[in-house]
Structure 1
Amino acid sequence: MRAGRAAAYAGLAVLGAVVGLAGTLVQGAWFPGGLLLALAACVGLFYGGLRTTGTQLGVVAPGVGWLVAVVVASMGRPEGDQVFWGGVAELVYVLGGMAAAVMCATLPRLPHRDGTTGSLGM
């Protein structure tokens, strides 16, 4: 893997963490519009990573960053402070974000320049 591609994946992972943290704050602040905005940002990030890199790893990298940020945000502090309180909106955000990552990762690969998809038999 070239250094430029590795830097792109690392940047996507950091961007995934930023989107995950922003989504945890927005989805609870402006329900239901914030939830829809947070999920749209997840879909845009995951699909954008796929289109930018042309590989499924372009979805996995921001997906891992997003998941780490959401898990860290869901853990409470010893003082009792936490971002997620266990409501329906938080559950929809977590499950919807994971579903968006899986759907984007399982999309067919982008066509190559010669017109083939890279799939077997094509």
Structure 2
Amino acid sequence: MSARQGAPEPGSWLTSPPRPGRIAAYLGLAVLGALVGTAGSLVQSGWFPGGLLLALLATTGLFYGGRYVTGTQLGVAAPGIGWLAAAIGLSIGRPEGDVVFSAGLGPLAYLLGGMAMAVICATMWRLPQPGSKPGRLEE
């Protein structure tokens, strides 16, 4: 623990045992990522180009929300894995020839745009800590 009571040291989540609540949050984010990936796959092709924009906004909101809620990059990776699994699973054709993603600009923009948003949200600056003071010393 640091000088502040109850505040963990930076990076201590790597060395401490995982808490059940945090594990449940990451699993929930992964399931939510799969749901958003499935819904986005259906919406982006149904209402092009508005559906594509809506699907990318929902994907970005999920990734940023995961980062904001957990405060870690794993908060982006968990829904990103669920989203990618759903998107790839729906892009694989069935033996009958049925496929959710057709060949075209929309599905490609959805896949590449979603992956780009995950990378952008994962590499954002650290979120400001609540109750922190600015870097300047008070006079």
Q: Which has the higher contact order (CA 8 A, sep 6+)?
A: 1
Aligned residue pairs total: 116
Amino acid at match of 2:105: V
Other structure's SS at 2:126 match: coil
Aligned match of 1:89: 106
Query: Identity, % of aligned pairs?
Result: 66
CA drift of 1:85 comes to 1.1
TM-score, normalised by the number of residues in structure 1: 0.92
Looking at structure 2, the residues matched to 99 and 115 of structure 1 have their Cα atoms a distance apart, in angstroms, of 31
Looking at structure 2, the residues matched to 45 and 113 of structure 1 have their Cα atoms a distance apart, in angstroms, of 21
Other structure's SS at 2:120 match: helix
Q: Which of the numbers 44, 57, 62 marks the counterpart of 2:79? A: 62
Amino acid at match of 1:31: F
Aligned match of 1:119: none
CA drift of 1:111 comes to 2.6
Q: Which of the numbers 41, 47, 64 marks the counterpart of 2:64? A: 47
TM-score, normalised by the number of residues in structure 2: 0.81
Instruction: List gaps (5 residues or longer) in structure 1.
Output: 117-122
1:43-95 alpha-carbon deviations (Å, 9 max, x no partner): 00000000000101000000000000000000000000001111100000000
Instruction: List gaps (5 residues or longer) in structure 2.
Output: 1-17, 134-139
In terms of fraction of residues, the more helix-rich structure is 1
Report the aligned-residue RMSD.
1.1
